[in-house]
Amino acid sequence: MSKEITVVIEKEVSPIVRQAQELKIGNVKDMEKATETLSKLNLYNDRITEEKEKITIPAQAVLTAERARWSPIEKPIKLAIDLIRGKMSEYQTMLMKMAKEEEDRIASRIGAGKGKLSVETAVRKMSEVEKPQEKTITDSGSIKFRETQIVKIVDKSKIPLDYLIVDESAILKALKEGKKVTGCVLDIKMTPINNR
């Protein structure tokens, strides 16, 4: 779509958009006016889509072809990358947890009495705990780790309702199939279908 067409359509459609924003429907005449406004807007939308698709459809075809060309190579590479990253993460996390457990064990021995450690001795022993390597460097590249907090669900039944996401599509499908879903019913909403 040329810049000129864009400017012309924008100029023509602006008053109709304002009209739509101010529209109130309270009687049959208002519904007729709303239908006329909706039809005009949809006609402009169709025209814009037609103009856009003169460019986007050929561009999409090129994009689809290029993606198809590289996909057989990219998929195994991405899977291998994810596999290695997973293994690295697992190993590094295990080493960090082991170091933390050792530090906690040393800290639990601070105090007076048999088998207890002085603060100074505990600090020294903690500094001697072997930590995992922070960075690995090779000729091809390097890797370092960033600590990321994640959620680990230990008991799904105790999660507050505020954090549960309702799958409305699945519920609608089940209700349409005649299944009962506690706390849900089918309702009706009238959706306008504009013919122009």
Chain segment 101-124, per-residue pLDDT in tens: 999 999 999 887 888 888 898 899
Give yes or no for residue 96 having a pLDDT over 90: yes
Per residue in 131-173, pLDDT tens?
A: 999 899 999 999 999 999 999 999 999 999 999 999 999 999 9
Model confidence band, residue 3 (pLDDT cutoffs 50, 70, 90): confident
- Percent residues over pLDDT 70 in the chain: 99
Query: What is the rounded average pLDDT of the residues 59-81?
Result: 97
- Percent residues over pLDDT 90 in the chain: 80
Per residue in 175-185, pLDDT tens?
A: 999 999 999 99
What is residue 74's predicted lDDT score, i.e. its pLDDT? 97
Average pLDDT value for the chain:
93
Per residue in 27-44, pLDDT tens?
A: 999 999 999 999 999 999
Query: What is the rounded average pLDDT of the residues 45-57?
Result: 94
Rg (CA), the chain: 32
What is residue 46's predicted lDDT score, i.e. its pLDDT? 95
What is residue 91's predicted lDDT score, i.e. its pLDDT? 95
Please answer whether residues 192 and 36 qualify as being in contact, where contact means their C-beta atoms are separated by less than 8 angstroms: no
Model confidence band, residue 195 (pLDDT cutoffs 50, 70, 90): confident
Give yes or no for residue 1 having a pLDDT over 60: no
